[in-house]
């Protein structure tokens, strides 16, 4: 009986010693996987968002959009300089890359890594941040990009569609009343985070990120605000002169 007890004790001790050696490896692996998933998502989303569709569409027409109109590569300047069809194409493409980063890119990352459901929403938000920063600070144009309005719309079509709908209504009303796209964009940048904070269920991370992106969008409109104060801001529908 004593020998059996001693053999059981030795067996338990050997199992415990194995667990002590195995557990750190398992824990370190499970910690590394989400970190790698976050890094890959952020980098891939940034590169996707950095595709300068406004610049590329204008180049096809032989125009450097950075030297005409407001000098911005976004959809508003593209529409003013290149015309409505090209401007609408840029608008849709810029929005699509934001949506794709959150909806499709994250899906691919989730399939590659064993990510828990608790990390899924955070990954989607990180992808949205990456896409907007890629558009605003594209590495292909010396980190001088657009203002992120259309790309942000694509991101929130995937993340918070009802909040986007409210911001879109505010945008349309502001443009209708003032005839300034910039005023509508700023109004939408205020309405979007406000709606995200009000809507339920509440997501603290999403609320903080949306607020930060709203502040960034307003900051990117600082030149527009200066022109508005000076009375030189272009109204909606006015076509810019192009010197080819």
Per-residue pLDDT, 34: 82
Assess if residue 239 is contained within a domain: no
| Chain position carrying tokens 């194409």 | 89
CA distance 93 to 232: 29
CA distance 98 to 216: 16
Instruction: With a cut of 80, say whether residue 16 has pLDDT above it.
Output: no
**Structure-token pair, residue 131:** 């896409």
What value does the mean pLDDT of the chain take? 88
Which position has the higher pLDDT, 181 or 116? 181
Stretch 105-116: mean pLDDT, rounded? 86
Per-residue pLDDT, 46: 98
- If we measure between CA atoms, which residue out of 66, 89, 93 comes closest to residue 77? 66
Instruction: With a cut of 60, say whether residue 86 has pLDDT above it.
Output: yes
Reported pTM: 0.85
Q: Judge whether 139 and 130 are in contact, CB under 8 Å.
A: no
**Structure-token pair, residue 139:** 């590495």
Instruction: With a cut of 60, say whether residue 88 has pLDDT above it.
Output: yes
Per-residue pLDDT, 31: 56
Instruction: With a cut of 60, say whether residue 133 has pLDDT above it.
Output: yes
Assess if residue 243 is contained within a domain: no
- If we measure between CA atoms, which residue out of 124, 130, 105, 118 comes closest to residue 30? 118
Per-residue pLDDT, 236: 86
Per-residue pLDDT, 243: 55
Assess if residue 238 is contained within a domain: no
Assess if residue 242 is contained within a domain: no
Tell me the per-residue pLDDT of 170-184, one tens digit each, with 9 for 90 and over.
999 999 999 999 999
**Structure-token pair, residue 206:** 């999403």
Instruction: With a cut of 50, say whether residue 96 has pLDDT above it.
Output: yes
Instruction: With a cut of 60, say whether residue 20 has pLDDT above it.
Output: no
Assess if residue 108 is contained within a domain: yes
Number of domains comprising the chain: 1
Assess if residue 241 is contained within a domain: no
Domain range for 153 is 8-230
Which position has the higher pLDDT, 3 or 116? 116
Pick from 13-17, 51-55, 87-91, 223-227: least confident: 13-17
Assess if residue 36 is contained within a domain: yes
């Amino acid at each position: 009986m004593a020998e059996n007890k001693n053999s059981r004790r030795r067996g338990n001790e050997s199992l415990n010693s194995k667990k002590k050696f195995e557990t750190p490896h398992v824990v370190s692996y499970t910690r590394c996987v989400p970190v790698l998933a976050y890094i890959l998502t952020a980098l891939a989303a940034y590169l996707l968002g950095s595709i300068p569709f406004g610049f590329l569409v204008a180049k096809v027409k032989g125009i450097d959009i950075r030297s005409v109109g407001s000098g911005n590569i976004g959809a508003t300047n593209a529409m003013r300089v290149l015309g409505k069809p090209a401007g609408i194409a840029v608008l849709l493409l810029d929005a699509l890359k934001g949506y794709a980063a959150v909806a499709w890119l994250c899906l691919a990352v989730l399939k590659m890594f064993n990510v828990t459901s608790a990390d899924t929403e955070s990954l989607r938000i990180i992808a949205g941040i990456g896409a907007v920063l890629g558009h605003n600070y594209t590495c292909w144009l010396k980190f001088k990009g657009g203002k992120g309005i259309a790309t942000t719309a694509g991101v929130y079509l995937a993340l918070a569609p009802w909040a986007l709908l409210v911001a879109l209504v505010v945008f349309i009303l502001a443009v209708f009343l003032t005839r300034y796209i910039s005023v509508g964009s700023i109004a939408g940048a205020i309405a979007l985070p406000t709606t995200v904070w009000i809507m339920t269920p509440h997501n603290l991370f999403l609320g903080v990120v949306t607020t930060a992106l709203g502040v960034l969008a307003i900051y990117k409109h600082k030149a527009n605000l200066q022109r508005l104060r000076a009375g030189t801001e272009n109204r909606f529908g006015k076509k810019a002169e192009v010197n080819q």
